Chains A and B, each alone.
Chain A
Amino acid sequence: DTGVSQDPRHKITKRGQNVTFRCDPISEHNRLYWYRQTLGQGPEFLTYFQNEAQLEKSRLLSDRFSAERPKGSFSTLEIQRTEQGDSAMYLCASSLGTSGQRHTDTQYFGPGTRLTVL
């Protein structure tokens, strides 16, 4: 399977604990995105990387959230001191990142990590 992969698929944690999720993009894609989706809502943008550079962050990404893409390949999203309001599906997407395009890249999503904070 050469699609976007995410690990773990499910995570249950207690309030106050730290959690880390991993995303492996499609191999030739140089852009990687993180979104969060709560029940009954569409995905909401969190942040994106062009290679290893984090170029855009949403105000939804509080200081308890940090994302990295150290070698421009896989990415991790860490949530510190989790709160019940962090319970959601965390989605990763990747895109080719063709330079010079006049429109937003087509993004391909992974299966998501479902986080439940008790």
Chain B
Amino acid sequence: TQLLEQSPQFLSIQEGENLTVYCNSSSVFSSLQWYRQEPGEGPVLLVTVVTGGEVKKLKRLTFQFGDARKDSSLHITAAQPGDTGLYLCAGGTQGGSEKLVFGKGTKLTVNP
């Protein structure tokens, strides 16, 4: 069974601080997707990374896929209250399955 471990589980910071969220597994994934979810809503896609070592930037967010495609990180620079939410990583499985395996998420609160 493929599992994704996210850390930290909870993170509360002040506006303007930087933070990094980690997503780790002992399994190799074909792709890694990051989502942000608001309470009572569905996950909203932030980015997809597919190549080991790939780095993608989305404004103040930087996403990295590990060289071995087993881990990923999300770094936010100068966090804002609008960044508050649940950040989920999801791994695309290999071997013909199309399902995504999700971590439990990191609940981020950015205080003004």
Q: Given known contacts A102-B30, A103-B30, is B102 in contact with A42 (CB within 8 Å)? A: yes
Please measure, in the bound complex, the distance between the C-alpha atom of A93 and the C-alpha atom of B43, giving whole angstroms.
10
Contact B92 A55 (CB under 8 A): no
Please measure, in the bound complex, the distance between the C-alpha atom of A106 and the C-alpha atom of B71, giving whole angstroms.
18
0/1 interface trace, chain A 14-55, chain B, CB 8 Å (1 if under): 000000000000000001010100001111110010000001
Contact B42 A109 (CB under 8 A): yes
Q: Which of B13-21, B44-52, B76-84 contacts A (4 or more CB under 8 A)?
A: B44-52
Give every chain A residue within 8 A of B41 (Cβ-Cβ). Answer: 111-112
Q: Given known contacts A42-B88, A102-B30, A107-B33, is B102 in contact with A91 (CB within 8 Å)? A: no
Q: Given known contacts A45-B100, A103-B31, A107-B33, is B48 in contact with A91 (CB within 8 Å)? A: no
Give every chain B residue within 8 A of A102 (Cβ-Cβ). Answer: 30
Please measure, in the bound complex, the distance between the C-alpha atom of A105 and the C-alpha atom of B90, giving whole angstroms.
12
Give every chain B residue within 8 A of A108 (Cβ-Cβ). Answer: 45
0/1 interface trace, chain B 78-112, chain A, CB 8 Å (1 if under): 00000000001010110001111111110000000
Give every chain B residue within 8 A of A48 (Cβ-Cβ). Answer: 98-99
Give every chain B residue within 8 A of A114 (Cβ-Cβ). Answer: 40
0/1 interface trace, chain A 79-110, chain B, CB 8 Å (1 if under): 00000000000010101000000111111111
- Identify which of B30, B44, B92 contacts A109 (C-beta below 8 A): B44
Report the nearest B residue to A106, measured CB to CB: B48
Give every chain B residue within 8 A of A40 (Cβ-Cβ). Answer: 104
- Residues on B close to A: CB < 8 A? 4, 30-31, 33, 35, 40-45, 48, 50, 88, 90, 92-93, 97-105
23 contacts between A and B (CB under 8 A): A33-B98, A35-B100, A42-B90, A42-B103, A43-B43, A48-B98, A55-B98, A56-B99, A58-B99, A102-B30, A104-B30, A104-B92, A104-B97, A105-B98, A106-B33, A106-B48, A107-B100, A109-B42, A109-B43, A109-B44, A109-B45, A110-B42, A112-B40
| 8 nearest A-B residue pairs (beta carbon) | A104-B92, A42-B102, A103-B30, A45-B99, A109-B42, A103-B31, A106-B48, A112-B42
